[in-house]
Amino acid sequence: MATLNRKKPAEEIAEEIEENINEEDVPDIVSRQVIEWENVPILSTNSTLLDLAISGGRVYEGGIPACILAEVFGPAGSGKSALLAEVGGNAQKQGGDIMYLDPEARLDKEYARIYRIALNKKNYYRPEKVSEIFSMVNEWYEGNEARPLVALTDSLAALTTDLELDTGDKMGMRRAKEFSQGFRVNARMISNILWLCSNQEREGDNGAITPGGKAVPYYASLRIRIKQKRKVEVEKKLQSGVKVSKVIGIESECTITKSTVDDPYRIVPVYIVFGYGIDDIRANLQFLKDMKKTTSYVCPDGKSAVGMEQAINRVEENDLAAELKKETIMIWHEIEELFQANKNRRRDR
């Protein structure tokens, strides 16, 4: 391509660019991008509504494509680790390989068992510094032919640097610089894996912030903010007739704050039950009740249940979870179709 004269008027520069473009190359580049997306493994979070919020406009059931950097951030106790674990377990279920980086050193065998994650000396590490995670992921990635490949980091906020360990780094500037350099240098490698990270949300002088500077928000293709909305409490009755209650989990709210995967700013609930994980049946039952404006929970077999726990039991006992999920997806797409007019007009131009 000829060198462009930057002193020329904008109109002449535009004409010169058009003359020097090899038009035969353009369709080939575009088609390769489409093919790569179609061949990428898609991983479920085990939440139907969250999967759809992430990429339901491009993949019928939605999910996270295993070719991006993604960040889940939010306050403590909101369910960040649970989301990472669900995705990691599903990656292994698909025959893929995961690397679990645990800077906080909090993951235990029981937690891994709940989410059906198989960990060993080859895929579980406790890095201390930012520089270590990039070298570890690179070493794990090289020559690894498994698909999908998922690197889980829980969490970025726990990582430090040599400068911080030696003399201190109160503003975190060195850490931010190392994140920026690491993600920039490894951008092409990340396009072949899913690097799913959690991060804390803290209150700063200018509002809520995430540690690590602007590199993660900049390089991430997907950012999900998760915050606890309420505790899920269940009431039971003893044989004596006395009623007892217990908090069995939490309801959190997930907001897609950034996405190059699909439309951003979708907001969905996620229910996380202690010792169980993400409760997709509970979320789908509530979604369908809200969308249909029914006074009770209607199960896929047409039978109604007054309470949530009764409805969940009916779905589980009659193996109706798949039908419930199918109906949820259909209603979600029906809603999305209502907002497709503008996109269709664009395609017709």
The answer to whether the beta carbons of residues 161 and 167 sit under 8 Å apart is no
Report yes or no on whether pTM surpasses 0.95: no
Tokens, residue 87: 């995705």
Amino acid identity of residue 250, one-letter, is: I
| H helix or E strand, kind and range, residue 231 | strand 222-237
Q: Is 279 exposed, middle or buried (0-12, 13-18, 19+ CB in 10 A)?
A: buried
* Strands 207-209 vs 64-65: parallel, antiparallel or unpaired: unpaired
| H helix or E strand, kind and range, residue 101 | strand 97-101
Q: What average pLDDT does range 185-206 have in this prediction?
A: 91
**Domains of the chain by residue range:** 27-226+252-278, 280-340
For 219-254, the pLDDT digits (tens) are: 999 999 999 999 999 999 999 999 999 999 999 999
Percent of the chain with pLDDT over 90: 77
CATH class of 27-226+252-278: alpha beta
For 99-141, the pLDDT digits (tens) are: 999 999 989 889 999 999 999 999 999 999 999 999 999 999 9
Q: Name the more confident of 39 and 117.
A: 117
Question: Which of 47, 53, 34 is CA-nearest to residue 83?
Answer: 47
Confidence of residue 157 (pLDDT cuts 50, 70, 90): very high
Q: Is the pLDDT of residue 57 over 80?
A: yes
Strand order in the sheet with 194-200: 124-125, 97-101, 149-153, 194-200, 69-74, 222-237, 243-259, 267-273, 277-278
Q: Is the pLDDT of residue 341 over 80?
A: no
Average pLDDT, the chain: 88
Tokens, residue 78: 């909101």
